[in-house]
């Protein structure tokens, strides 16, 4: 008898708990799933006005984002200096072109090939074009000194960047020029040049984290044998928004991406050449992580795969959205990817998943040393 009563009580307690659980799942407001996000319509000529309008529309979602948390956990102190507000971009929606190129030992051929790829991407509507890492010659320590250019001198001393300047001005397109080996005095750098629609050099990023790895039986590459590490994170305001720049191995260091997000970047571009060992494991994983962690766009561009090369690239150039979703990608062959970026989704994702307002400034802090010194 006692056993039967005990069994009945246990059963009723379970049913009560299940009913409560069902109520909590189906009655309480929940975070919107991707398929439930409202669609914001913007045309190809949309400007910052759409972004401002969306921000106003989404504010009501964040009014309950917990002022208690903000006062108790000090999320604004999780960044030092505090994160800057996301700037209103010059355009809200535009097309990006990722040019996954075959690279040969013929430098002049590589330059002309890149020119044609940029022209094709622009013909297909791209307002921003990204090239791969080390696109004007082989990726090797032996080749870096041979193919290096004096970017600051320009002209004949840097035919690769001279081409980028000319084509960006002629086609009125913003170019993230992949990377080339740069000679500066007695030092060599792995450098990415960004050109505006007027053909002028807007910024230059020198690879901060050098690719020094040793996976026995798989791959060993010591970039620091010939290259010097850059010293400066790079964020640049362009005609298509604020862009942070990293080169290949830089993508592994989340602190750099966090600094870019705190400086108001809409997009991070990583020209890169992951290899056949780490590429299958980490290339897409890292891109999605940087995008999802910081709720912004991430674009990568790799050389096409050449199995006969000394260094074999994985390929798979990709665009990832601010929710960590792969928006466009390709395999390992040469390709030009044209995809759409819609910056209004950044505000939307940050409203639905308010990570910036939930950081624990009372427990941890990211210090942007360069910005702190300048301020």
Catalytic residue set: 133, 207, 248
Q: Give the residue from 317, 264, 254, 263 showing the smallest Cα distance to 291.
A: 254
Compute φ and ψ for 243, nearest 5 degrees: -120, 130
Torsion angle in degrees (nearest 10) through CA of 54, 96, 319, 110: -160
Q: How far apart are CA 155 and CA 168, in angstroms?
A: 15
Compute φ and ψ for 221, nearest 5 degrees: -150, 125
Q: Give the residue from 355, 260, 303 showing the smallest Cα distance to 110.
A: 303
Compute φ and ψ for 80, nearest 5 degrees: -130, 115
Contact 144, 180 (CB under 8 A): no
Cis omega (within 30 of 0) for bond into 129: no
Contact 140, 107 (CB under 8 A): no
């Amino acid at each position: 008898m006692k056993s039967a009563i005990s069994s009945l009580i246990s059963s009723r307690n379970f049913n009560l708990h299940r009913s409560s659980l069902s109520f909590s799942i189906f009655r309480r407001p929940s975070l919107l799933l991707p398929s439930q996000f409202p669609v914001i319509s913007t045309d190809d000529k949309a400007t910052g006005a759409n972004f401002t309008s969306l921000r106003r529309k989404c504010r009501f979602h964040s009014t309950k984002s917990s002022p208690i948390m903000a006062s108790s956990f000090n999320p604004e102190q999780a960044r030092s200096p505090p994160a800057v507000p996301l700037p209103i971009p010059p355009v809200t929606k535009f097309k990006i072109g990722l040019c996954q190129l075959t690279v040969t030992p013929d430098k002049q051929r590589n330059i002309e090939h890149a020119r044609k790829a940029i022209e094709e991407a622009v013909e297909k509507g791209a307002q921003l074009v990204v090239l791969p890492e080390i696109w004007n010659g082989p990726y090797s320590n032996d080749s870096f000194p041979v193919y290096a250019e004096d970017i600051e001198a320009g002209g004949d001393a840097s035919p690769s960047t001279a081409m980028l300047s000319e084509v960006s001005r002629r086609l009125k397109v913003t170019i993230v020029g992949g990377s080339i080996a740069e000679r500066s005095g007695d030092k060599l750098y792995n450098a990415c040049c960004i050109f505006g629609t007027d053909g002028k050099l807007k910024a230059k990023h020198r690879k901060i984290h050098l690719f020094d790895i040793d996976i026995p039986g798989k791959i060993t590459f010591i970039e620091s044998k010939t290259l010097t590490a850059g010293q400066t994170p790079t964020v640049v305001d362009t005609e298509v928004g604020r862009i942070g720049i990293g080169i290949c191995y830089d993508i592994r260091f989340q602190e750099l991406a966090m600094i870019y997000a705190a400086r108001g970047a809409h997009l991070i571009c990583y020209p890169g050449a992951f290899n056949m060992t780490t590429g299958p494991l980490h290339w897409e994983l890292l891109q999605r992580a940087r995008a999802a962690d910081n709720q912004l766009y991430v674009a990568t561009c790799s050389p096409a795969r050449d199995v006969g090369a000394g260094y074999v690239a994985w390929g798979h150039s990709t665009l990832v959205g601010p929710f960590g979703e792969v928006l466009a990608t390709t395999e390992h062959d040469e390709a030009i990817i044209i995809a759409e970026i819609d910056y209004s989704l950044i505000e939307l994702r940050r409203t639905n998943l308010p990570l910036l307002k939930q950081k624990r400034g009372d427990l941890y802090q990211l210090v942007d040393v360069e910005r702190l010194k300048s301020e």
